[in-house]
Every structure is written in structure tokens, then in C-alpha cells.
Structure 1
Amino acid sequence: MLSLHWPWLLLALPLPLFVYWLIPAQQQSHSQVFAPSLMMLAEQKTLGSQKPSWLVYVLMVAAWACLVLACTRPIYVGEPQAITETDRNMMLAVDISGSMAEEDMAVRGRLINRLQAVKVVLTDFIAKRKGDRLGLILFGSKAYIQTPLTFDLTTLEQLLNEAALGLAGKQTAIGDAIGLGVKRLQSLPESNRVLILLTDGQNTAGEIEPLQAAKLAAQAGVKIYTIGIGADELIKQGFFGPRRVNPSRDLDEPTLIEIAKSTGGQYFRARNLDELNQIYSLLDDLEEIEVEQQMIRPEKSLFHYPLALSLLLAFLIFAHQQGWFTRLTQIFLAQKEKANV
């Protein structure tokens, strides 16, 4: 339906009538005070005889009405729509240390490194988080905030895909990443605070130990889900032929398990891309979204339509007063006569 934001401005519609009534009175009072010459009276008489045509009056009334209507700010109010709000705040802590360059994750028969696999899976995970506030922490030798908690999931996804291996150093500061995530989450009034930590190694850098950071997280009500990524077995070609190696020998699973357990979270093991994808799908079920339904009515502003019409009518009035239409008619008739001759 249509609605006016400032309907009281419609009271300005009769304003030109008051102006029209006041102008003759003012002219009459002036004529009583001053004694105009015959030439002035002749000029006034001449000017008074040149009254605007009825068409000009109609255009003036229509232009003023459109201008007043535009000032009332007309809006179109749509049908009620339900929106979903959640109070979940989730930080994603992603390891970008040098070990994440290990190519032991397969996609369509082609090996890719661990960070590339994380980007593939997290892209779909982020796209499903409509209504959640997500943040991104990247860590190596140091941890830093790549994206603060935000509803702008498109920007977060873009910054994740731009993350480069070794950008934060070659080592792994798991404790610092947890501490940074807790610092960002604990200041929020909402109770649903989640940190998802993904790494392929063990804590080799940083100023705080992982288990100590986990205690701080538990005190702040932050639930941590840890994910250990990396294959258990990989065949590599050596000087004496192919050999089996364990590319995840540096993964500190006991510490990751203890971190998740002490904060009420859970530890997951991702040996390949399918398991990693299943883990993030499982997180949807573990962390159910607290839904709050609200009804909104979308509004669309329409003031520019009557404003544009008012300007168009004002231009037509000006063109009529200047005699443009008469000149165009004369030119058209002259051209027509020439064509007939």
C-alpha cells in the first residue's frame, strides 16, 4: 500500500491561493500611497491585460501539487516478510603455517595442499551461515585478525581465499590463536560463542600455551571445536622407489582433544576432503541456530516520481511563457507550406 511519511505537509497545498489573495491587496495599498503617472498606469493596464491562459494555470496547479506530494515523501509499503535473527558468534581460526603446504588432500584425483582444501570446504560453510556473525583468524608464528565479527560473509570469504601460506610465519601459535579468539568473543553480550580451530601441527610458537588459553576460553564461555587436518599416509617417490610416509606425524592430537573437551567442544579428524566436508556439516547439527522470527514490511521510496513530474511541468510552463511552442508551431506550419508548394 501507499503511505506518506510526512502527511501534514499536504496542508501546504492551498498556499498559492493565499499568496494570490494577498498580492492584489498589497498592490492596492501601494496605489493609495503613491500617485503613479499616466505612463505607469498604462504599463500596469497593459501588464494586467496579459493574463496567463487557463492551460498555464492548470500546469501551475499540477506542478505545485506534485512538488508538495514529493515533500511528503510517499513510500510503498510491501507485504509483511519474516526474517530470521540468530545470536551466534563464530570465529574461524585457520592455520596458514608452512606445514599447510603439504599436498596430501585429493580433489577429483588431483592432489592439492591443505590450505587449498580448507578454502574449498570453508567457502560452502560460510555461505550457509546467513544470520550468523563470523570472524576470521589466521595464524602461523603469530595470530592476527583477518576479519572481525561481521555479517558481511562475502568479504570474509574473499579475505579467506586471499590468505597465503607462510604469511604469518612458518611456525604454529595455537595458543595465541585461541587467546585472540577468546578476546574477540568474550566482550559480546550473547551467550552463544564458538571458536573453530583448524591446524595440522603442534604449538611451536606464541606467548601462551594452548591448554592455558583453553582454560581462559572455558571461563569466558567460549566453546572450541578443534580440527586436525592431514592424511595419515602418503606415497612419495624416493631414490629407491616409492615409500609410505605419515605427513601428519607432527599433529598434536592429544592437545587438540583436551582443548575441545575442556571447553565443551569436540575434536574432529580430517584425513581427506570428504571428512573435512562432513565435519563442517556436522557442526551445523552440533551448534543449532537459535532462531528469532521477526516481521518486517519492506519500504520503497517514491518521492522522485512526483518530483520529476513537477520539474517537467515547470519546464513546460517556462517554455509556454517564452513562446517556444508558438515558434515551433510556426516553424512546423512554414515547413509544411514549403512542402506543399
Structure 2
Amino acid sequence: MSWANPEYFWLLLLIPLFIGYRFWMTFKKREATLTFSSLDKLKGVSAGYKTWLTWVTPLLQIAAFTLFITALARPQLQNTTVEQYAEGIDIVISLDISSSMMAEDIKPNRLIASKELAASFIDKRISDRIGINVFARESFTVVPPTLDYNLVKNMLETVDLGMVRDGTAIGMGIATAINRLRESEAESKVIILLTDGMNNAGEIDPITAGDIAASYDIRIYSIGIGSRGTAPYPVDDPIFGRRYQNVQVNIDEEMLTQISTQTGGKYWRATDTQEYEEIYEEIDQLEQSEIEEVIYVDYEDQYFFYLLGGIFLVILAFVNERFVTRSPLFQP
């Protein structure tokens, strides 16, 4: 509730003056019009309900006056509608699913952590089309860029090792993502490249793929996943069960830095889960959609109900004074 003319509420200060004036007129000393030798016989006479009803009239008048002042102040209901317009970004997350992603230097392992953090990143985006592609020795699109975030996250959940032959074709992973973005009309186009190794397969060299991305104004944010030195890798032995062996972590950081730099992006190294999460937060800040808000405010006047109530109380006070009590209490 809001008020268009709240200054009229100052008129409510007249109510105490009105009450004081009426009481002064009622109880001021008057000359007697009838003289009695004694009032003892009148002391036991009941005043009757009409005597009390005479007090109702001024109360109704005060209430009516209050409602009239409220109506003058123009009470309004305020309905606010906010419309948001966002210039969306097209994003493709290109995820390495080679066997080395089973290493557990990032808990619970590199692949699961990558999927969980990617899903959290998707939840924070607004009006961006997001797609997923995976690569090992070959690369393919899991889901093309779309605004259906539930679909993207559901399809991301199905990503697992063994979907393609083992290997690390980073150039193919970039090329597949480029193919999904090259005809995009979005203001900003981004590839988030996640890998834990070195390019050892595929027909397209990563540097060449980076040049192609730059020609389409596509930025590449690349993340090297894995600790420095060695990492525990699970091995299932048919006799002794699961055991772990330390494997060397080899990430071509120089190449990843080069392809990110030449496209206007950035390279990070994630050696643990906390760093991995912080990288996604930084990407989220770097790629903010421009959101424009248009606010519409609609006011609905409510004074009529107060005015109608005041008129009703005036009529009620008049009926009570002229036809019920017939002798108004505040008679000057």
C-alpha cells in the first residue's frame, strides 16, 4: 500500500480539537430551565439505552471524518513487474574422457569432479545456451548448445569412460566444439576445455584448432586437470582386487596456454578440488551475460472504498441522531 497525497493526513489533527469543542459545549454550565425542590426521587431512574446511544453519533462522525481524510490521501496498491532481457552467451564444455581421468588426485576422481563442477557452473548461468562434447581418441557432441539446462545436466550425468576409444585428441575436442559454435549469432562464444593429458591422437593439431577458433571469435578457457608429479590411479586386479599405482601427470601446459591466449581466453591448472572450483567461479565472473531490467509499476487507487465507508458512517450517524435518540448529546 502506498499513498499519492499523504500530506492530507495532517488534517487528522483536527479530531482532538473537534472532541474538545464538543465536550466543552456539552458540559459547560447552563442556567436551569426547570426548578425542583428535590432530585431524590429521580436518582433511581434508569438512564436507558438511548442515553448511551447519544455517544455513538460523535464517534461515527469522527470515524467518517478519518475515512474521508484517508480517501483524500489516495491509498494505492502498487503492483511491480520486472522484465529481464539478457544477451546470452553460447558455451560448449569440451570434456576429456580418456582413461587417465580415473586418477584420484582430485576427489572422488578427475572425471566425476569435472562433471559435478560443470553442473554447478551450469546452475549459475542465465540465458546462456550451453552444450557438451567429449573427446578421447575421437570426439562427439553429447548435447548441442541449448537453454534446457536440465537436459544438459542429465546428459552430462551419462558421460563416462569408454564412450569412445582411448586416447587424447585435444585438437578434435576443440574442433567439435567450434563446429557447434561457428554459426552462432551470440555476442560471445566460449569453449571450456577440460583435459588431463597431452595431445596424442586425432587429425587436427590443437594449435591449428585454436587458430580456427580465433577466426570465429571463439574464446577458449582451458583447464589442466591433475596434481603435479604423480597421481594415484586405480587398477582392478582379478586376483587381489582394486589397488592403486602412482602414474606420472603429464599436461601440455605450454600448448594449452598458447591456444587460450591466441583466442583471448585463459589457461588454469587445477591440482585439487578447491582450485578446480575457484577456476569455474573465475570463468563465471569473466563471462557475465549483460542483463537489462525493465520495471513496470502499476498503481490501483483504493480511495473509493474509504469514501464509500465514510458516507455510510455519516448516514448512520444522521439516522442515530434524528430517529433513534431524537435528542443529540452534543446540542449547543
The structure having more radius of gyration, on CA atoms, is 2
Amino acid at match of 1:277: E
Question: Partner residue of 1:264?
Answer: 264
Question: Partner residue of 2:275?
Answer: 275
Pair 262,283 (structure 1): closer, same or farther in 2 beyond 3 Å:
same
Question: Where in structure 2 are there 5+ consecutive unaligned residues?
Answer: 1-78, 235-243, 298-332
Question: Partner residue of 1:147?
Answer: 143
Question: Partner residue of 2:117?
Answer: 121
Question: Is 1:104 aligned to 2:100, yes or no?
Answer: no
Deviation, 1:276, is: 0.5
- 3-state DSSP of counterpart to 2:122: helix
Amino acid at match of 1:210: P
**How far apart, CA to CA, are the structure 1 residues paired with 2:233 and 2:110?**
17
**How far apart, CA to CA, are the structure 2 residues paired with 1:96 and 1:236?**
15
Equivalent pair of 1:231/1:247 in contact (CA under 8 Å): no
Pair 136,294 (structure 1): closer, same or farther in 2 beyond 3 Å:
farther
Equivalent pair of 2:117/2:277 in contact (CA under 8 Å): yes
Question: Partner residue of 1:225?
Answer: 221
Pair 236,120 (structure 1): closer, same or farther in 2 beyond 3 Å:
closer
**How far apart, CA to CA, are the structure 2 residues paired with 1:168 and 1:127?**
28
Question: Partner residue of 1:48?
Answer: none
Q: 1:177 aligns with which of 173, 176, 179?
A: 173
**How far apart, CA to CA, are the structure 1 residues paired with 2:132 and 2:125?**
13
Question: Is 1:209 aligned to 2:210, yes or no?
Answer: no
**How far apart, CA to CA, are the structure 1 residues paired with 2:145 and 2:294?**
22
**How far apart, CA to CA, are the structure 1 residues paired with 2:191 and 2:258?**
15
Question: Partner residue of 2:255?
Answer: 255
Amino acid at match of 1:89: D
Q: CA RMSD in A?
A: 2.5
- 3-state DSSP of counterpart to 1:118: helix
Equivalent pair of 1:226/1:256 in contact (CA under 8 Å): yes
Pair 114,289 (structure 1): closer, same or farther in 2 beyond 3 Å:
same
| TM-score, normalised relative to structure 2 | 0.59
Question: Partner residue of 1:160?
Answer: 156
Pair 245,179 (structure 1): closer, same or farther in 2 beyond 3 Å:
same
Pair 219,113 (structure 1): closer, same or farther in 2 beyond 3 Å:
same
Question: Is 1:135 aligned to 2:131, yes or no?
Answer: yes
Equivalent pair of 1:89/1:193 in contact (CA under 8 Å): yes
Deviation, 1:184, is: 1.3
Question: Is 1:93 aligned to 2:89, yes or no?
Answer: no
- 3-state DSSP of counterpart to 1:147: strand
Pair 101,234 (structure 1): closer, same or farther in 2 beyond 3 Å:
closer
**How far apart, CA to CA, are the structure 2 residues paired with 1:235 and 1:114?**
11
Q: 2:186 aligns with which of 178, 186, 190?
A: 190
- Percent identity of equivalent pairs: 35
Question: Partner residue of 1:313?
Answer: none
State the Cα deviation string for residues 225-282 of structure 1 (Å, max 9, x = none): 0000011244689xxxxx9956412x11111111101111000000011110000001
Pair 151,296 (structure 1): closer, same or farther in 2 beyond 3 Å:
farther
1 or 2, which has the higher helix percentage?
1
Equivalent pair of 1:99/1:170 in contact (CA under 8 Å): no
| TM-score, normalised relative to structure 1 | 0.58
Question: Where in structure 1 are there 5+ consecutive unaligned residues?
Answer: 1-77, 107-111, 238-242, 298-341
Equivalent pair of 1:86/1:131 in contact (CA under 8 Å): yes
**How far apart, CA to CA, are the structure 1 residues paired with 2:256 and 2:262?**
10
The count of aligned residue pairs is 211
